[in-house]
Structure 1
Amino acid sequence: MPDTYRVAAVQAEPVWLDVDAGVDKTIALIEEAAAAGAALVAFPETWLPGYPIFLWLGPVAGQMPYVARYHANSLTVDGRHLAAIRKAARRNDITVALGYSEKDHGTLYMTQTVIGPDGEVLLHRRKLKPTHVERSLFGESDGSHLKVVDTHLGRLGALNCWEHLQSLTKYAMFTQHEQIHIASWPAFGLYKGIAPALGAEANMAVTQTYALEGGCFVVTATQVISDAGIEVFASTDEQRALVTAGSGCSRVYGPDSSLLSKPLDEHEEGLVLADIDLALIDLAKNAADPAGHYARPDVARLLLNTRPSALVVTPEQGSTPLFPALEEVSEELVS
C-alpha cells in the first residue's frame, strides 16, 4: 500500500437526466484524473443522472413530469452503464468513487460505488436516510451500508451529503479506522439567502470537521449548475429564484482539517487535486483519536446494527451475497 499518492475530486455539472451522455462525461473525467497522476477520483452525490433539483422547487404534482425520466436514467448494478465505468477504471488504472441514483426494480437509492483499478467493486453502499424531500423519490438503506473497506490505498469509506450531520453515523465510520473518506455532495445553489444550512459555508464546515474528528483525509466532490441547467428544472420566475448558478465547492482536507487543495471558482468545472501522505494520520491521531485513546467507552458507547434488512427470509436460503448482481458482472468484465 502506498503511503503517498494523488487524489482528485470532481467539480462539474452533470448531464442532467441523460445517463448515456453522463457516462461519457464520467469516463472523460476519469481519463483526465488518471492523466493528472491521480490514484483516486471521487464524484458528487447522484452525479448520474444529476441531483434531482426538481424535488425542492414546488409541490409533488409539479414533480411528476420528472419522476419517470429520473427512473429511466438511473443506473442498475448489473447494467451496461456501470459496466462501462468499471472498464474505464481498469483501462486507466485508477480507483473511482462514483455517486449515482441506483434503480433496484421500483425503488431508487442514493448510491456510492467504489471501483478499484482492476474494475472490481470495493464498496457498494446506499444513503442511510434520504434528506427531507429526497424521501419522496429515494428509499433508505440499513446499517450494513455503514462500512469502511481495506483497499490498496488504505481503509476507505464514503457518505453522502447530510449523512455528515449524523453524529452516530460518523462515529460508526470512525471506529472502523477510516483513512480516506469520500464526501459526496450536490451543488450548493438551493435557497441561497433563505436557508444557510443548505449552503457551501455550512456544509464545508461539516466536511472539514469530519476530517478533524475522524483524523482522516476527506475527498469532497460537488456539482455545479449552470443557467442552462437551472432551465431544465425551473419553468417559472419563482422557481428560478430558488436556484443559483455555480455553487461548486470541491475540496480535499487533511486529517488535521487543513485544506490541501486549491479551490476552483464555484462556476468552474474541473478536478481539484491534492497529494496526500497517510503518515500524517498518525500525527493527527496522536493528539485526539475519538475512536481510540480519546474515547470513554465506560461512559458512552454506540450500538450499531450492521445486519442487512431483508424483506423475506427463508430457512433454505442460507447465506447469500448482499449484491449478487455485482459479483456476476465482475466475471463478465472484459478488457
Structure 2
Amino acid sequence: MVSYKNPVIAAVQAAPVLFDLEKSLEKVKAYTKKAADKGADIVVFPESFLPAYPRGLNFGAVIGSRTDAGRKDFARYAKQSVAVPSRATEILGDIAKEHQIYLIIGVTERDAEWSDTTLYCTVLFFAPDGKLLGKHRKIKPTASERLIWGEGDGSTLPVFDTPFGKIGALICWENYMPLARAYMYTKGVQLYFAPTADARDSWQATMRHIAMEGRCFVIGVNQYVTKSMYPNDLASYDELETAPEEMCAGGSVIVDPLGNIIAGPVWGEEEILVAELDLDKITEAKYDFDPVGHYARNDIFQLYVNEKRQTPRAD
C-alpha cells in the first residue's frame, strides 16, 4: 500500500476582479499566500475563477438572435481568458512554486491551438515546482453555459498521483454525471475537487453523496459574488438589472469519505476553508464499500471511456 502524507487543504471562496485577468491574478497571489501561511499543501480555487464565471449574463443571445452588445462582451470575456500555455499560466506556476503548494484553479481557457476564440471551462493543476501537470476541460457545459463554452473530451480527465494522494476534479454539474464520477473512482481518486458555481443547498447533498459513493475526500469550492463586483461598463450591463445584489452566496465545503462535513459550508462572505485530511479515513471507509473493489461487480458492469483526443482534422 502506498504511503501518502496527510495534506492540509485550502479551499478559497472568493471572487476574481471580474473580467480583468491581470487584477484577478493578483488576487490569486494574495489568497494563495494567505492559504500557504495557514499551512496549506494544496490550494484550490472555484470554477472559472479567471477571468470570471459570468453569472447573470446572456451575452445578448436569445433563440434566433444575438445582439451587437452581447458580441462585444463576449469578445471582452474571451480576451481576458487564459490560453494554455501563456504568460498567465507562467504566473500561476510561479505562484505555486513560490509557496511550494499544489495549485488547482478554475479558468475559462481560450483555445491556443486551433481557433484562439473557442472557450472552455477548465481546471488547471500546478505542482509545487511550478510545472503545469495538466488540465481538465468540462465535458458538458450546462444550459446557457453552452453559448460561451465548448465541450471537452475524454483526453482531459486526469487523476494525478501526488505525495498527498491521487487528485482529480470534475466541474459543477459534471458531478451529476454518474459515469463521469465512476471513471474518477476507477482512476483511484482520493482527493476529489469539485469547483462549482452552484450555491444551492441541494449542492451540499451532492458533495456528501459523492464522498460516500467514491469513498474519497470531496472539496467543493464556490465563489462569493455580488452584483457590485461587475464592471458597469459592460456593453450589455442592463442584463443584470433584475439580478439580486448577492449573486452567489458560496457554500464551499470539505467532506470526509463517510460523508461527514469537516469544514464549512461557509456562506455570504469571502473565506478560506482550511482542513487537514487524515488519509487513513479512506481505507477505513472502504472496509464496507469500495466502488471499484469488492463492491464493483465487474462481472456484470463494464465502463468504457473514450480517452482519445478529438481534433478538427485527422492527422
Taking structure 2 as the reference length, the TM-score comes to 0.90
Is 2:227–2:245's contact at 8 Å kept on the other side of the alignment?
Answer: no
Q: Please give the secondary structure, in 2, of the residue aligned with 1:99.
A: strand
What pairs up with 1:168-317 in 2 under 5 angstroms?
A: 168-186=179-197, 188=198, 199-229=199-229, 232=232, 235-236=237-238, 239-241=241-243, 244-264=246-266, 266-314=267-315
Quote the residue 1:317 is aligned against.
none
Quote the residue 1:332 is aligned against.
none
Distance in 2 between residues matched to 1:168 and 1:276, nearest whole Å: 26
Gaps of 5+ in 1: 189-198, 315-335
Distance in 1 between residues matched to 2:239 and 2:107, nearest whole Å: 29
Is 1:253–1:259's contact at 8 Å kept on the other side of the alignment?
Answer: yes
Distance change >3 Å, CA 269–CA 288, structure 1 → 2: same
Equivalent position to 2:50, from 48, 69, 72: 48
Distance in 1 between residues matched to 2:134 and 2:59, nearest whole Å: 33
Q: Please give the secondary structure, in 2, of the residue aligned with 1:145.
A: coil
Q: Please give the secondary structure, in 1, of the residue aligned with 2:293.
A: coil
TM-superposed CA distance for 1:241, in Å, is 3.7
Q: Relative to total residues, which structure has the larger helix share, 1 or 2? A: 1
Gaps of 5+ in 2: none
Q: Please give the secondary structure, in 2, of the residue aligned with 1:22.
A: helix
TM-superposed CA distance for 1:235, in Å, is 4.3
Q: Please give the secondary structure, in 2, of the residue aligned with 1:100.
A: strand
TM-superposed CA distance for 1:267, in Å, is 2.1
Count of aligned residue pairs for this structure pair:
302
Quote the residue 1:192 is aligned against.
none
TM-superposed CA distance for 1:64, in Å, is 2.6
TM-superposed CA distance for 1:313, in Å, is 3.0
TM-superposed CA distance for 1:230, in Å, is 5.4
Is 2:19–2:231's contact at 8 Å kept on the other side of the alignment?
Answer: no
More off after superposition, 30-39 vs 232-241: 232-241
Quote the residue 1:163 is aligned against.
174
Letter of the aligned partner of 2:142 in structure 1? Answer: T
TM-superposed CA distance for 1:209, in Å, is 1.1
Distance in 2 between residues matched to 1:113 and 1:246, nearest whole Å: 22
Alignment partner of 1:77 is 2:84: yes
TM-superposed CA distance for 1:227, in Å, is 3.5
Q: Please give the secondary structure, in 1, of the residue aligned with 2:13.
A: strand
* Aligned residues with identical type, % of pairs: 34
After superposition, what is the alpha-carbon deviation per residue over 1:148-169, rounded to whole angstroms, capped at 9, x for unaligned? 1212221110111000000011
Is 1:142–1:308's contact at 8 Å kept on the other side of the alignment?
Answer: yes
User: Over aligned residues, Cα RMSD in angstroms?
Assistant: 2.0
Distance in 2 between residues matched to 1:24 and 1:87, nearest whole Å: 12
After superposition, what is the alpha-carbon deviation per residue over 1:77-119, rounded to whole angstroms, capped at 9, x for unaligned? 1211111111011011111001001111121111101101111
Taking structure 1 as the reference length, the TM-score comes to 0.85
